[in-house]
Structure 1
Amino acid sequence: MVLPLELIQQLKCSDFPTQQEYESWIRRNMKVLEAGLLLHPHLPLDHKSDSSAQCLKQIINESLQNPMDIGNNNESMQNLRSVVMSLARGSYDESASEICHWADGFPLNLKIYQTLLEACFDKNEEKFMIEEVDEVLELIKKTWIVLGMNEMLHNICFSWVLFHHYVVTGQVENDLLSASTNLLKEAEKDVKSRTDPFYSKSASSMLSSMLGWAEKKLLAYHDTFCRGNIESMQSIVSLAVSSAKILVQAMSLEFNNKMRNEANVSCSRVENYIRSSLHDVFTQASSTIHSP
């Protein structure tokens, strides 16, 4: 059974208080299908040649724009079911199977947990958290035993969610960035006591995304920061350094290497940002001087 598909097919708009809630619910379930069948599938996919994967991606994109099309159109629902089951029943020997192995479990669990954490934000004002955030977090943490989460992964996931909201809402709410950075620092402390690289490696895509975003700003920080946004620089440096430290620790555990000295990781990163930005400024100044 592919649970999100069954839920979409069985529950109707009349089962929800409002059409808006129903549409939001469909979007969430389509995102879960995307995560389980396309982003973290049980079997590797060739997205360019697999027609079922291409078809599902198109259906998901259309349903995110117009979720009622899936809910009210029997033909659309049958197309969705056909494509989903085709992908879910694949096997390594390319034979059809009656058993659904549709997701690579733990990465999907992380995606589900991130989706749960989104409930901490006001759906009408995405840059603001709801007043009941502490109570909601306590409820979300009850899923740890089911999803295989722990304190470190919670901190990384929540840091990512806060960071994502900071970015998509225009990078104006520095409190979100600061909170994201603080959680990442806590995760950095936790990862030091881990001997299994699995957990920190599982979150590497989130950490790499945050590190990449921060470094784009820091490698040319003379162009990035000015009087109006300079207060965010400290948090962005901290975000980059903490992400880098956790990633280095994960690699060290995976390959049984001795971890580089923490101070070296921090210093080398900051030194690289300074050198790169100064080089950029020097290049700009030189081109200005030599221009006719």
Structure 2
Amino acid sequence: MTPPDAATRTLPLRYRAFADRGAGGKPVTVFLNPGDEQDRARQAGTPLSVFVQASDPASVTLRVFTPHGEKGSSDSAAIAALSALQETGLLLDVVEVTQGDPQTGAEVQPAQLCGGEWLLRQGLVTVQAVHADLSPLGLTSGTAWVAATNRTNLVAEVADLPALDAFTPDDAAISAVNRATGTTGLILFTPGGPARAEVSFRAFGPLKGFSEDAASSNMLACLTGVLDHLNHLPEGATLIRAAQRRPGQPARLSAQYARTTGGTDVWVGGPATPDTP
């Protein structure tokens, strides 16, 4: 495939990361050239804009902005940028992705192309069962799980998909449960889901600065670790499909996993498709 010329590289490209059969997911604007990042992000009209600072076949350097400031890193933005760069035909199937301001600290993740989708390594997930008082959330108290990579989340199972979809989050109640369990996020899940998903989930993080996320790679990684801990991952498989169920903004993610003695090594990604404004 012919690399984009200089004029094409200045045009913003609209993508929808983690869309579920063309709907939902996260809108991202991709810029293949750097410069004037904050101004262009403000004008882009999407919650996230990602700027390719540099790229070669084995590595990509990105900076991610919202309309109001630099975000640091975003898996959704990285997946969109990798998908756009893949169209140039210049990327290998395994690359190193660097995100963030090099002056204040950048995050480096390996990425791999798997079944036409880019996956980013989330790291080793460790899991511990705990007794959690979930009554402030209107849920039955009992066994839950603390799962962590570099961030610690509380994971709890609900009865079925209708119960998951009917859950109404209360930021104050979720924050109180997180503080009581020494966690910063909450993941609710149930087995199965639409379009043959192995698991459906919702992700909440008022202590992290958001009420409910539409597509959360790190939280799916933690959930995958819990499913491994419970021996609920498909026998003989290394990848699951997950449906994230934020109301009105469904997302489809994939998690690739490997069982180790120290936990579960997890990569998460999904589709990123061109989006018509």
TM-score, length-scaled by structure 2:
0.27
Larger strand percent: 2
Choose between structure 1 and 2: higher helix proportion.
1
Rg: which structure is higher?
1
